Chains A and B, each alone.
Chain A
Amino acid sequence: MPDWSMRDKACIVGVGTTEYGSFPETDAYGLGAQALNAALDDAGLTCADIDGLIVNRIAYERFSQLTNINPQYMLATEMHGRFSAVSLMLAAQALATGAANVVALVYGNNGKSSRMQYGGGDSLWAPWGLTSPGASHAMMFREHMAAFGTTSEDLAHIAVAFRKHAALNPSAVMRKPITVEEHQASRFICEPLRLLDYCLINDGGVAWIMTTPERAKDLRKKPVYVSGYARQDDFSQASIPTPGYWYPSLQTVAGKVYDRAGIGRDAIDGLMIYDNFTPTVLFALEGMGFCKQGEGGAFVRDGTLELGRGRWPTNTSGGHLSESYMQGWALLAEAAKQLRGECGDRQIPDCRTIQYICATNVSSSIILRN
């Protein structure tokens, strides 16, 4: 009897992704629909099987009308990337409780062709020129530098590792390998962060189909089990770049997620870490206990996160830094593909378990297994 009632009560049975780039001929709905169709084909299901729908960055009424899906369970989650994991957890809970039997989760983003600006609008600190999520992360990383001696060059190793992975991924937008020196020579956007510390805004769509383990048995692909998940929010200082790197929240999550999954850290084969900016990878690794707090910079050197080289192959798709900024949705699709052994040149050998980690005001982690 597992001590957490949600263990292995939901599965990912289909994933679909579009190309990533600039597609002004369509929009977020067209991209979401394209991803949904791909995910349904992957699962061997049709729209008629869907009785739960969670959409992100698209409006649920319009998308339901377009696809003629009239479910018994429906949610539209907020556009922040933290809500990809939240959406997956909500779907898992809906499946575990019987609120839905087959849930489609659909993400559509045309941020590139619609010239989405992450910065420059009205905000609390705009009178002093503080704007953009990147600047907030720069502020958080400066604190880490001062406290622990972490450097910009430490971040370079993260960017270099993920770009190596992207070179093995035909879907990645940026595939040309980079060096630590090239990272260090890239221009500052908001110092201490440089261009190569930033994710890539692109158009694209991602969809997942989730169902119960019973329903998954006779579907096309091997199910990927949602073994455990945990989340801890912290909005106590939400009006400023959060001091403390979300470390307390992540420690809380770490204290739950492995036990809930029944899978310890040492049994994890690969990681998917929300990498909107390189520092969040350090914050996630430290908070989840892969290294001690403050030692993240040293930890990511020497290829620790590199496929075929380090113990913890991370973001094998290239992640947000090199594949495309799909706000966690494509990272979780990559996790499912890794667990099905479908990643070709970038496959983690004998991949049985993947852990997803997102360090933010809604810190979360999900452990998936095959």
Chain B
Amino acid sequence: MSYNKPLPAIDQWNKPFWDACKEHRLIAQRCDASGKVWLPPGPISPVTRTDKWSWVDLSGKGQVSSWVVMHQRYFPGFADDLPYNIVQVTLDEGPTIIANMVDLKDRDIKVGMRVKVVFDDVTDTISLPKFAREGAGA
């Protein structure tokens, strides 16, 4: 059966991010002057407001800053997964992103839990970053 969940909207700024995900690498933009790292990708550094930034590899490690369990059916593609977890992860380099936890039942997730990125190859071109417990061998 074909993948029927929503897919990311690719634009000129986030294309390198998604290309890297395809290679199972997590990257982000870093401000050349200040070292600040941010996501989602955009045209300018939020610190200098210039295009003086570079892509950098991230460790893929971070900690859960919040999480929820979705019970309501909003997307047909997620209907069979209900209820499913969504985690908010603050990466060690600074940015906070949203994803799913792949190796824990929903209520075993804890705020502050250390996690590491894993990649889910959902289509031929898209690999979604998700998370597993750090050190769990995922």
* Contact (Cβ within 8 A) B6 A126: yes
Residue pair B69, A188 in contact (C-beta under 8 Å): yes
Decide: A142 and B6 in contact? CB cutoff 8 A.
no
Neighbour of A188 across the interface among B6, B83, B122, B128, CB < 8 A = B83
Distance to closest chain A CB from B113 (angstroms): 11
B66 touches A192 (CB 8 A): no
Are B66 and A143 within 8 A (Cβ)?
yes
- A344 beta carbon closer than 8 Å to chain B: no
For the complex, is B43 an interface residue (Cβ under 8 Å from A)?
A: no
Interface string of A214-244 (1 = CB under 8 A from B): 0000000000000000000000110111010
Q: Across the interface, which residues of A come within 8 angstroms of B122, CB to CB? A: 127
Give the distance in Å from the alpha carbon of A143 to the alpha carbon of B88 in the complex: 10
Residues of chain A within 8 A (CB-CB) of B110 are: 146
On chain B, the residues within 8 Å of A243 by CB distance are 65-66, 96
Tell me, in angstroms, the Cα distance from A139 to B99 when the chains sit together: 12
A122 vs chain B, min Cβ distance (A): 6
A358 contacts chain B at the CB level, 8 A cutoff? no
The answer for the CA separation of A240 and B96 in the assembled complex, in Å, is 8
* Chain B residues with CB under 8 A of A263: none
A53-B111 Cα distance, complex, nearest whole Å:
47
Closest A-chain residue to B72, C-beta based? A189
CB distance from B32 to the nearest CB of A (A): 20
Tell me if B35 is interfacial: C-beta within 8 Å of chain A: no
The reply to whether the CB of B81 lies closer than 8 angstroms to some CB of chain A is: yes
Give chain B interface residues in 66-98, CB to chain A under 8 Å. 66-72, 74-75, 78, 81, 83-84, 86, 88, 96-98
Task: Tell me if B71 and A122 are in contact (CB < 8 A).
Answer: no
Within the complex, what minimum Cβ distance (angstroms) separates B25 from chain A? 18
Per the bound structure, the CA–CA distance linking A126 and B122 in Å amounts to: 14
Which residue of B75, B83, B88, B110 has the most chain A CB atoms within 10 A of its CB atom?
A: B88
- A188-B71 in contact given A128-B99, A128-B100, A239-B40 (Cβ < 8 Å): yes
Q: Considering the complex, which residues of chain A in the window 146-192 have a beta carbon less than 8 Å from any beta carbon of chain B?
A: 146, 187-192
Contact, CB under 8 Å: A142 / B5: no
Does A129 make an interface contact (CB < 8 A)? yes
A24 surroundings in chain B (CB, below 8 A)? none
User: Measured between alpha carbons, how far is A190 from B46 in the docked complex, in Å?
Assistant: 32
Query: Is A251 located at the chain interface by the 8 A CB criterion?
Result: no
Flag whether A252 is at the interface (Cβ < 8 A).
no
Instruction: Judge if A293 is at the interface, Cβ distance under 8 Å.
Output: no
How far apart sit A312 and B100, CA to CA, in the bound complex (Å)? 40
Complex contact B96–A127 (CB within 8 A) = no
User: A127 touches which one: B8, B70, B83, B112 (CB < 8 A)?
Assistant: B8
- Report Cα–Cα, A191/B106, bound state, in Å: 10
Q: Using Cβ atoms and an 8 Å threshold, which residues of chain B touch A119?
A: 72, 74
CA gap between A191 and B82 in the complex, in Å? 12
Instruction: Please indicate the chain B residues that have their CB under 8 angstroms from the CB of A240 in the complex.
Output: 88, 96-98
B124–chain A nearest beta-carbon distance, Å: 15
On chain A, the residues within 8 Å of B112 by CB distance are 146
Known: A129-B75, A189-B71. A146 touches B111 (CB 8 A): yes
Interface residues of B (CB under 8 A from A): 5-9, 39-40, 46, 65-72, 74-75, 78, 81, 83-84, 86, 88, 96-100, 106, 110-112, 122, 126, 128, 130
User: Could you list 20 A-B pairs, sorted by A, with CB under 8 Å?
Assistant: A122-B9, A127-B122, A128-B86, A128-B130, A129-B86, A129-B100, A130-B86, A131-B75, A139-B68, A139-B88, A142-B67, A142-B68, A142-B111, A187-B71, A189-B72, A190-B69, A190-B70, A190-B71, A190-B72, A239-B39
